[in-house]
Amino acid sequence: MNQQIRLLQKVVTGKGTSKALTFSTPHVLKSILLLSSQKYVSRSDFCQELKIGEGAIKTLIKHLKESDIVNTIKSGTYLTEKGKKFANRFCSAVPNQTNLKECNTTRGKYNHAMVIKKKFVQSLGNGMEQRDYAILYGASDSLTLIFEKGKFLFVGDRIQCFSDEPNVRNYLIEKLNPEERDVVIITSSDDKFVAEISALNTALGTLTGK
């Protein structure tokens, strides 16, 4: 997985890039995941989904093409075979994501949850690193949980999460389909996009094991 993350970083850097960019690795990842769910994506759709301007989108697509991840035709941008392999590889590590409504434990107006398969997590720590990854992209808070014996446990103190909210626990089990010892990340924000992009950045940081 580190190889895939280095590829994302290469896309951000591009060839001969000297000006400051308004996108980074989680934006690149989101663009690839968006392309994996649609046959073609227009520039306007990219702008809407990534919350960055058309000039930045042109640069992003240019960098993706330089790395042979995408190609373009009149209908829009699409993934190459290399891009499809990348998307499949990432989705094998992070197979499911979902939005979560505000509850007693996650107090953000918007919350984004994702599951990371245990075999891709080399080092987890006490969850503070994940919180830092999330806050870096504007999240107000984040939770790092381990799924064990049908329960979500806080990674730091192993206390059960959602013990008084079985409906939330059941919803996450249904949407994320976690297996024993899988990691679940939940990031919170008053902005839906920020909740998602900070979750993606947290996933990337967790997958690198740093």
pLDDT tens per residue, range 22-64: 789 999 999 999 999 999 999 999 999 999 999 999 999 999 9
Location of structure tokens 């006490």: 126
Question: Could you tell me if 61 and 134 lie in one domain?
Answer: no
Under the banding of pLDDT at 50, 70 and 90, the label for residue 15 is low
pLDDT of residue 40: 95
207 has pLDDT over 70: yes
Under the banding of pLDDT at 50, 70 and 90, the label for residue 117 is very high
pLDDT of residue 20: 55
In total, the chain counts a number of residues equal to 210
Task: Read off the amino acid at residue 204.
Answer: L
75 has pLDDT over 70: yes
* HEC secondary structure over the chain: CHHHHHHHHHHHHCCCCCCCCCCCHHHHHHHHHHHHHCCCECHHHHHHHHCCCHHHHHHHHHHHHHCCCEEEECCEEEECHHHHHHHHHHHHHCCEEEEECCCCCCCCCEEEEEEECHHHCCCCCCCHHHHHHHHHCCCCEEEEEEEECCEEEECCCCCEECCCCHHHHHHHHHHHCCCCCCEEEEEEECCHHHHHHHHHHHHHHHHHCC
Question: Could you tell me if 81 and 108 lie in one domain?
Answer: no
Question: Could you tell me if 201 and 110 lie in one domain?
Answer: yes
CATH number of 196's domain: 3.30.1360.30
Domain that holds residue 24: 2-90
Question: Could you tell me if 156 and 104 lie in one domain?
Answer: yes
Q: Which of 38, 56, 90 is the last residue of a domain?
A: 90
**How many domains are there within the chain?**
2
Whether pTM > 0.85 for this model: the answer is yes
Question: Could you tell me if 83 and 131 lie in one domain?
Answer: no
Question: Could you tell me if 204 and 106 lie in one domain?
Answer: yes
pLDDT of residue 210: 54
d(CA 124, CA 100): 23
Question: Could you tell me if 38 and 134 lie in one domain?
Answer: no
